[in-house]
Amino acid sequence: MQYFLAVAEALHFRHAAEMLNLSQPSLSQQIHQMEQELGVRLFDRTNRKVQLTQAGQALLPRVRRILQSMDEAVFEAKRVDQGLAGQLTISFVSTALVGVLPRAMKELQATTPGVELQLKECAPQDQIANIIQGTFDIGFVHAKLDNEELESSVIQRDELAVALPSDVAEGGPVDLRHYKSFTSIMPSPFTAFGFYNHVQRAYSLAGVTPERVIYANLIIGAINLVAAGIGIAVVPESFQYIQVQGVSYRPLITPPPAVELLAVWRRDSTSRLLQRFLGILGHAA
The mean pLDDT value for 69-96 works out to 83
pLDDT at 191 over 80: no
pLDDT at residue 207 tops 80:
yes
Percent of residues, the chain, with pLDDT higher than 90: 66
Between 278 and 169, name the one with better pLDDT.
Answer: 278
Q: What percent of the chain has pLDDT over 70?
A: 97
pLDDT band for position 73 (cuts 50, 70, 90): confident
Domain 160-257 has CATH 3.40.630.30: no
Residues 139-162, mean pLDDT to the nearest whole number: 91
Q: CB count, 10 Å around CB of 243?
A: 8
Cα distances (angstroms) measured from residue 244 to each of 17, 39, 56, 171, 178: 72, 73, 68, 18, 23
Residue 84 confidence (pLDDT) above 80? no
Q: Which of 215, 209, 247 is nearest to 228 (CA)?
A: 247
**Amino acid in the structure at residue 122:** C
Fold equal for 85-156+260-284 and 160-257: yes
Average pLDDT over residues 258-283: 93
Query: Mean per-residue pLDDT for 151-161?
Result: 93
Extents of the domains making up the chain: 2-81, 85-156+260-284, 160-257
Backbone angles phi, psi at 260, to 5 degrees: -100, 130
The domain defined by 85-156+260-284 carries CATH number 1.10.10.10: no
Q: What is the pLDDT of residues 226-256, one digit of tens each?
A: 999 999 999 999 898 888 999 999 999 998 8
Average pLDDT, the chain: 90
Alpha carbon separation from 237 to 99, 158, 248, 250, 265 (Å, rounded): 10, 6, 11, 9, 26
CATH number for the region 2-81 comes to 1.10.10.10
Q: What is the pLDDT of residues 101-150, one digit of tens each?
A: 999 999 999 988 888 899 999 888 899 999 999 999 999 998 878 889 99
Q: Check residue 192 and give its pLDDT.
A: 54
Report pTM: 0.68
